[in-house]
Amino acid sequence: MKKIISIAVVGIFVLSGVGTVAGIATKNLLNGPYGPSEGYVGVEYTFFFDLPVNPNGDEYYVIWEWGDGNMSSWLGPFPPGQTTEASHAWMHAGVYEIRVKLKDPNGTESVWSDPHTITILNNPVGVSFIKGGWGVSFLISNSGNETVTNISWDYTINMTLGLIFYGGTQNGTIPSLEPQSSERIQRIPIGAGFAKIYIHIDGTLNHAHRLLLMGPFVQLMGPLR
The model's pLDDT over 132-152, given as tens digits with 9 standing for 90+, comes to: 999 999 999 999 888 888 899
Q: What is the pLDDT of residue 24?
A: 55
Model confidence at 185: pLDDT above 80: yes
The model's pLDDT over 187-212, given as tens digits with 9 standing for 90+, comes to: 999 999 999 999 999 888 899 999 99
The model's pLDDT over 31-63, given as tens digits with 9 standing for 90+, comes to: 899 999 998 887 889 999 999 887 788 899 999
Over range 119-132, report the average pLDDT: 92
DSSP per residue over the chain, as a string? -HHHHHHHHHHHHHHTT-SEETTEESSS-SS--B--SEEETT-EEEEEEEPPP-TT---EEEEEE-SSS-B---EEEE-TT-EEEEEEE-SS-EEEEEEEEEE-TT--BPPPPPPEEEEEEPP-EEEEEEE-EESEEEEEEE-SSS-EEEEEEEEEEEEEEEEEEE-SEEEEEEEEE-TTEEEEEEE--EEEEEEEEEEEETTEEEEEEEEEEEETEEEEEEE--
The model's pLDDT over 109-123, given as tens digits with 9 standing for 90+, comes to: 999 999 999 999 887
pTM: 0.58
Q: pLDDT category, 103, cuts 50, 70, 90? A: very high
Domains of the chain: 2-121 (2.60.40.10), 125-223 (2.60.40.10)
